[in-house]
Amino acid sequence: MNKSVDPMDCAALQLGKTFEGHKLAVTDVKVHPKKPIIATCSDDATWMLWALPSGELIIKGEGHKDWIAGCDFHPRGSHLVTGSGDSTVKLWDFAKTSCAATFTDHTQAVWDVSFHDSGDFIVSASMDHTAKMWDVNSLRCRQTFRGHVDSVNAITFQPYSNNICTCSGDKTVSIWDARTGLCMQTFYGHMNACNGVSFNNTGDCVASCDADGVVKVWDVRMVQERMHIESGEHSVNKVVFDPSGTTLAVASDDSTVRFFSMAEEGKATGVLRGHTDSVQAVTFDKEGTFLLSAGGDATFRMWS
């Protein structure tokens, strides 16, 4: 388990650096688990690795035939997985600087991808209404999760478990058992398409966000809504907990990142302005020292 991290003073964050390199919207940004490196992916069908704090480009990855919507690092930092509008999931090997595998079982665009803590499995969420789990060692599809009746827009593993959480255009958030492929619980309450889901580090809470600008926090053990936050009238694209689990960062179509306090019942605690187009993704580093945001303005930004 993560050692406790001090809560971040998100209101005090300042724009440190703006990175440019992609030609189109930056759709996702992730922090390397061990090194000061970040990965981005873009509507320009490439992914890139960048060194911090210099912003030097390390690798540019090409091979997808359409936009890339999501990426995730292997827990050891040896590989990157990407999901694309070309309906494929690709696994990239940094040591060999090549594509190690292409998974082609989805029939429509892939919106999101995520690694299991062990590094042995990848899950993907697709517009084809399914989520899938891939075995990194055998390079096979191990499980298909069926139940959503619209596009599956985001997916993540519950920390330190074999459970998966998905959210969908059908306005629901579901938790699945990766071993059986069965849906264990579904959270109802969103009134519009759900765009993002994220667990806190302890895995007992999951946050979801929707196209109406609503963020909900769900208690996984009690299977009930813990918090309802109205972040504004614009669609929310991603929501993440800071490493301490006390603050939610919300990436909005109104080109801001907004912060809400878990301790104070979803009270707004700050806003970051700098992007000139929608904020597509937001993430914290493990220590809670900086935040990264990715935008429709083809930039990503570091706030510290």
Task: Say if CB 148 and CB 107 are below 8 A apart.
Answer: no
Please tell me the predicted confidence (pLDDT) of residue 3: 54
* Residue whose token pair is 């390199």: 21
Per-residue pLDDT, averaged over 198-221, amounts to: 97
Looking at the DSSP bridge assignments, the partners of residue 130 are 146
Please tell me the predicted confidence (pLDDT) of residue 5: 83
Query: Could you tell me the domains of the chain?
Result: 10-303 (2.130.10.10)
Sign for the CA dihedral angle at 283, 194, 110, 103 comes to positive
pTM exceeding the 0.75 threshold for the entire prediction: yes
Please tell me the predicted confidence (pLDDT) of residue 2: 46
Q: Residues of the chain with pLDDT > 70: what percent?
A: 99
* Residue whose token pair is 């873009």: 42
Report the alpha-carbon angle 155-304-204, nearest 5: 35
Of the candidates 294, 198, 200, the one whose C-alpha atom is nearest the C-alpha of residue 255 is 294
Per-residue pLDDT, averaged over 101-112, amounts to: 98
Q: What band does 208 get if pLDDT is binned at 50, 70 and 90?
A: very high
Please tell me the predicted confidence (pLDDT) of residue 1: 41
Does residue 142 carry a pLDDT above 80? yes
CA distance 251 to 213: 10
Does residue 92 carry a pLDDT above 70? yes
Model confidence over 146-171: pLDDT tens digits? 999 999 999 999 999 999 999 999 99
Q: Residues of the chain with pLDDT > 90: what percent?
A: 95
Per-residue pLDDT, averaged over 278-298, amounts to: 96
Q: Which two tokens stand for residue 188?
A: 């109802």
Dihedral angle of Cα 68, 56, 287, 32, to the nearest 10 degrees: 50
Enclosing H/E stretch for 98: strand 98-103
Per-residue pLDDT, averaged over 28-36, amounts to: 97
Enclosing H/E stretch for 222: none
Task: Say if CB 160 and CB 116 are below 8 A apart.
Answer: no
Please tell me the predicted confidence (pLDDT) of residue 57: 96
CA distance 163 to 170: 20
